[in-house]
Structure 1
Amino acid sequence: MKKFFVKSFGCKVNQYEGRQIRQFLEQFGLSYARMNGKADLVVVNTCCVTHNASAKSRQFIRKAQKKHPGATVVVAGCLPVGQPGELKMINGTVHIVRRKKDLAGILASLVETDIRHKDPDNNVYHTSSTFKRTPAHNLSKSSNYNCHNNLSTQKHTTQQSQFEFSPLISYAGKCRAFLKIQDGCDGYCTYCIIPKIRKQLYSKPASIVLQEAYNFIYSGHKEIVLTGIFLGAYGQDTVRRSLWEPSKKDALADIVDQVAQLPHLERLRLSSLEPADVTDKLLEVFCKHRNIMPHLHLPLQSGSERILRKMRRQYTAAEFMQVVEKLKVTLDRPAITTDIIVGFPGETDEDFEQTLEVAKTVKFSKIHVFSFSPRSGTAAAKMQPAVKSEVMKERSGRLRELDLHLQAEFRAQFSGEKASIIVEGTGPLRGRTERYFMVELDGKDAVKRGQFIPAVNI
């Protein structure tokens, strides 16, 4: 093997883990193949949170098989764990990794086996001292599906566990660097498959978080986004707040404070928070550091109290709006973005109208609209009555129309002011402001992608 390609679908955590896979393989001496290049190894880091995400993942697997005939295709991420039956639709031979902890060892096995096949003298060298030397593995050909190699078998676990993904050194090619500091969720919202895939909670030690953030800054990144599956549970063993250790209730605020103090970090963002995560201590940290952006993503999901209870969310619509009010009092015109699910089982016209009213009251700067997507293994998949597809489509259209109006309204209040941007494109010249909306600039100055510009006209 000489060249590889990694494709990640889904959330920022998956994007981060895709970068870890890339770094791991580069440390073995493999070269990254660009999208249109030839690859000997293709790793598909899948997502299955929605039917659409699963479909895109499967589509890319087929595309990789067609575009790179003879290449080794490894299917990792959430799909093999959350919806393994959907992989029966894939023809041909792919290596399916069911357990995330096995992935590094499996990749090492594939690479080392290939090298030894070409180098019978067994002269295998790693370019990173973090790797532990292990003998070659006899990769299993056992399969749960026709023509699929399920490599995540017990016989390999001991050897594979000797390989782990290292903290990232760089997020090359991207304007902002995602830094995963937390993993796992055991909240069991009724629509969500995540606890089936990532139930075990993990919080990255502060020392590693800071080292990784320093690596990004040293590599030239001006903006870091702290991310996690349930970011607000950083430092805790569960997402259920009633079971939280009081001594660790400000763990997230503390790590944000520490990262924000790193020299030469222009911008720091948090990927997504639950309303109760917005504590007084966290807001104090926001106010303390000018490089923490006044932008928070708070998933509402529904503005109906009844639907929120059916979803098993940990807040009411009234509590959500109280948090928003506190944010607006504390921060200067914060950007508040959100996720809303349309067509949850049993959602009536009245429930949807309540969602619209909450959105209008909050004045979101961006709404990500999702049509309800039943996932096998979740409680909501069995709930009735189902909302008709034409009703779901009509409601989604109305919500997207409101979103466009609210975006324009939010942006208009900054007209004539100056803002900083990090350049994301040069044709035309454009970048995102502190509050995350995109601006395009006139002129053809010699600027580069990723460059920080401290003052531009909005």
Structure 2
Amino acid sequence: MNEESRLLSSQVKDPNSPDKKSEKDYSKYFQAIYTPPSLKEAKKRGKEEVAYHNDFAIAEEFRGMGQNRKFYIRTYGCQMNEHDTEVMAGIFMQLGYEPTDTVDDANVILLNTCAIRENAENKVFGELGHLKHLKQNNPDVLIGVCGCMSQEESVVNKILKTYNQVDMIFGTHNIHRLPNILNEAYLSKEMVIEVWSKEGDVIENLPRVRKGSIKAWVNIMYGCDKFCTYCIVPYTRGKERSRRPEDIIQEIRHLAAQGYKEVTLLGQNVNAYGKDFEDLDYRFGDLMEDLRKIDVARIRFMTSHPRDFDDHLIEVLAKGGNLVDHIHLPVQSGSSEILKIMARKYSREHYLELVNKIKTAIPNASLTTDIIVGFPNETDEQFEETMSLYKEVGFEIAYTYIYSPREGTPAAKMVDNVPMEVKKERLQRLNKLVNDMSAEAMKKHDGQIVEVLVEGESKNNPDVLAGYTSKSKLVNFKGPKEIIGQLVQVKITDAKTWSLTGELVEVPNGQKVGI
């Protein structure tokens, strides 16, 4: 199969057209133009070379396409999806479109989707149902589905059969092809599908419209090779492929020059960064060492996999400076047996040893995590191991989830033998522990003076400002609007379970304020 045929760009007949194929024939036709995620094929990684492209530009034929047109993007899921939306917004703007915050006056509507959990997919299908009347009232509006759900065969099948109001479907590797996809959708009355079966390249020089001017996200790598049995990401995001360090450093230097105060490095597994380089001995610790030298106040990263969190990275993080003392380190379970079934490739003991190394090197480190409860075969005793590990580590926050199978993953073939009422009871107990320990962690800040990056007005009170500490603790306090976007000193006067309240002590120019 040549490379051109691997780029699966197709125009599918309207299911309501007179010459609609029978469901059986249609299924065969669909299989011919779309390659579903395959565990067997995906694990044969390393044979396909990743190409780096530094020449992205809007073709002359597409310039002005968006004149007098507006676009709307609804984003579901993780920060990676949020960042993808920033890139798509940048492309739209270069095409001449204007953004809108409502679907009612949009000429193009995109749903940037998440495939991690069933609930996220259901929300997208529900939204597609709501958009049907828009298409009926205005046939010229384009509706598209992109992101991780687009990489799933079952999802595309469902859209083709049920949601004929959709005009285009494209995958996570095809964002830079948005101008071409839009052009095809305008020229055809049929659904346009473009999903790459290949593992993805690295495209530089993509435009982006960032949200705000205080904090920024920067992708350092794409994809994941870990193949945890419950996770669809290795199929929807492709293999691990790292951006070149010089491109990352240049982007962050540019952000610093623009006045951004905080940068979060993104990747499905950031501490696997550089493992795919064949010509360069340069890993995540080396990148963090170089980023310490850039004049940006805070550098964060997410998400880490414990298996790749090496000693050199810990050594670099311990140097501090603009490298924050907050580490998100998903554990998923406190039971070695469940971790093995999950294919996490580490044990409870290994995880605790890693935590001990981090705390020894960075005594003030704030640790947060992700946990799944009710994984197939999880016993009461194994769940108790998760509870005890949570206490032993002393996590300050956790994102907790009930296990739900994702089609196409190995875990989906396992017997989901933990009753839902048991899953809910375990989640309730775990969340109580999470809440209690979060409140305990917050109390430690009572009476302290902390540095806060002021992000804007509080969501609940426009007379109150809100921002975050280096440990990602939300702080609310009163102060002048002029300090939004600045780092200020705040004395904590009240500690709640999920936030802190304080009084402004010092503004950026050193002027003292009464406590």
**Could you state the TM-score of these two structures normalised by the residue count of structure 2?**
0.74
Which secondary structure state, in structure 2, belongs to the residue aligned with residue 384 of structure 1? Answer: coil
Q: How does 1:48-59 map to 2 (within 5 A)?
A: 48-59=115-126
Which residue number in structure 1 is paired with residue 434 of structure 2? 403
Q: Does 1:92 align with 2:159?
A: no
**1:432 aligned to 449, 461, 468, which one?**
468
Judged with a 3 Å threshold, the aligned counterparts in structure 2 of structure 1 residues 62 and 218 are, in CA distance, closer, same or farther, namely farther
Q: Which runs of 5+ in 2 are unaligned?
A: 1-65, 493-515
CA distance in 2, matches of 1:401, 1:246: 49
**1:150 aligned to 164, 185, 192, which one?**
192
Which residue number in structure 1 is paired with residue 489 of structure 2? 455
| AA matched with 2:163 | N
Which residue number in structure 1 is paired with residue 322 of structure 2? 291
Cα deviation 1:19-69 (Å, max 9, x = unaligned): 110101111111111247621111211111110111122233334444675
Q: Does 1:43 align with 2:105?
A: no
Judged with a 3 Å threshold, the aligned counterparts in structure 2 of structure 1 residues 202 and 101 are, in CA distance, closer, same or farther, namely same
Contact 1:62 1:90 in 2 (8 A): no
Which residue number in structure 2 is paired with residue 6 of structure 1? 73
Deviation of the 1:456 alpha carbon: 1.0
Deviation of the 1:414 alpha carbon: 2.2
Judged with a 3 Å threshold, the aligned counterparts in structure 2 of structure 1 residues 101 and 313 are, in CA distance, closer, same or farther, namely closer
Judged with a 3 Å threshold, the aligned counterparts in structure 2 of structure 1 residues 165 and 96 are, in CA distance, closer, same or farther, namely farther
CA distance in 1, matches of 2:416, 2:302: 33
**1:390 aligned to 421, 432, 446, which one?**
421
CA distance in 2, matches of 1:355, 1:109: 46
Which secondary structure state, in structure 2, belongs to the residue aligned with residue 319 of structure 1? Answer: helix
**1:234 aligned to 254, 258, 273, which one?**
273
- Identity across matched positions, percent: 30
Cα deviation 1:108-162 (Å, max 9, x = unaligned): 4525986xxxxxxxxxxxxxxxxxxxxxxx5482xxxxxxx133289xx9xxx99
Cα RMSD between the aligned structures?
2.7
**1:201 aligned to 233, 236, 240, which one?**
240
Which residue number in structure 2 is paired with residue 104 of structure 1? 176
Deviation of the 1:169 alpha carbon: 5.4
Which secondary structure state, in structure 2, belongs to the residue aligned with residue 26 of structure 1? Answer: helix
| AA matched with 1:5 | Y
Q: Does 1:313 align with 2:344?
A: yes
Contact 1:170 1:215 in 2 (8 A): no
Which secondary structure state, in structure 1, belongs to the residue aligned with residue 177 of structure 2? Answer: helix
Deviation of the 1:5 alpha carbon: 1.2
Contact 1:169 1:212 in 2 (8 A): no
CA distance in 2, matches of 1:89, 1:394: 38
Contact 1:168 1:215 in 2 (8 A): no
| AA matched with 1:258 | D
CA distance in 1, matches of 2:401, 2:171: 28
Contact 1:105 1:164 in 2 (8 A): no
Which residue number in structure 1 is paired with residue 23 of structure 2? none
| AA matched with 1:433 | T
Which secondary structure state, in structure 2, belongs to the residue aligned with residue 288 of structure 1? Answer: coil
Which residue number in structure 1 is paired with residue 150 of structure 2? 80
Deviation of the 1:220 alpha carbon: 2.9
Which residue number in structure 2 is paired with residue 122 of structure 1? none
Contact 2:213 2:259 in 1 (8 A): no
Judged with a 3 Å threshold, the aligned counterparts in structure 2 of structure 1 residues 316 and 234 are, in CA distance, closer, same or farther, namely same
Contact 2:150 2:195 in 1 (8 A): no
Cα deviation 1:310-348 (Å, max 9, x = unaligned): 101021111111111111111132111100001100111
CA distance in 1, matches of 2:104, 2:205: 26
Which residue number in structure 2 is paired with residue 322 of structure 1? 353
Judged with a 3 Å threshold, the aligned counterparts in structure 2 of structure 1 residues 64 and 181 are, in CA distance, closer, same or farther, namely farther
Which residue number in structure 2 is paired with residue 177 of structure 1? 216
Aligned length: 413
**More displaced stretch, 318-327 vs 27-36:** 27-36
**1:254 aligned to 274, 282, 286, which one?**
286
CA distance in 1, matches of 2:102, 2:437: 36
Contact 1:50 1:373 in 2 (8 A): yes
CA distance in 1, matches of 2:279, 2:325: 27
Deviation of the 1:289 alpha carbon: 3.8
Judged with a 3 Å threshold, the aligned counterparts in structure 2 of structure 1 residues 290 and 454 are, in CA distance, closer, same or farther, namely farther
| AA matched with 1:104 | H
Q: Which runs of 5+ in 1 are unaligned?
A: 115-137, 142-148, 238-243
Contact 1:80 1:87 in 2 (8 A): no
Cα deviation 1:262-281 (Å, max 9, x = unaligned): 12x01100111122333222
**1:26 aligned to 76, 88, 93, which one?**
93
Judged with a 3 Å threshold, the aligned counterparts in structure 2 of structure 1 residues 38 and 229 are, in CA distance, closer, same or farther, namely same
Which residue number in structure 1 is paired with residue 390 of structure 2? 359
CA distance in 2, matches of 1:89, 1:435: 47
Deviation of the 1:282 alpha carbon: 1.3
Which secondary structure state, in structure 2, belongs to the residue aligned with residue 374 of structure 1? Answer: coil
CA distance in 1, matches of 2:420, 2:181: 46
Contact 1:170 1:216 in 2 (8 A): no
| AA matched with 1:236 | K
Which secondary structure state, in structure 1, belongs to the residue aligned with residue 105 of structure 2? Answer: coil
Which secondary structure state, in structure 1, belongs to the residue aligned with residue 228 of structure 2? Answer: coil
Judged with a 3 Å threshold, the aligned counterparts in structure 2 of structure 1 residues 3 and 227 are, in CA distance, closer, same or farther, namely same
| AA matched with 2:426 | R
| AA matched with 1:32 | P
| AA matched with 1:173 | G
**Could you state the TM-score of these two structures normalised by the residue count of structure 1?**
0.83
Judged with a 3 Å threshold, the aligned counterparts in structure 2 of structure 1 residues 89 and 60 are, in CA distance, closer, same or farther, namely farther
Cα deviation 1:50-108 (Å, max 9, x = unaligned): 10111122233334444675321111111121242443575332134344344433434
Which residue number in structure 2 is paired with residue 416 of structure 1? 447
Judged with a 3 Å threshold, the aligned counterparts in structure 2 of structure 1 residues 24 and 364 are, in CA distance, closer, same or farther, namely same
**1:304 aligned to 335, 342, 365, which one?**
335
Deviation of the 1:440 alpha carbon: 1.1
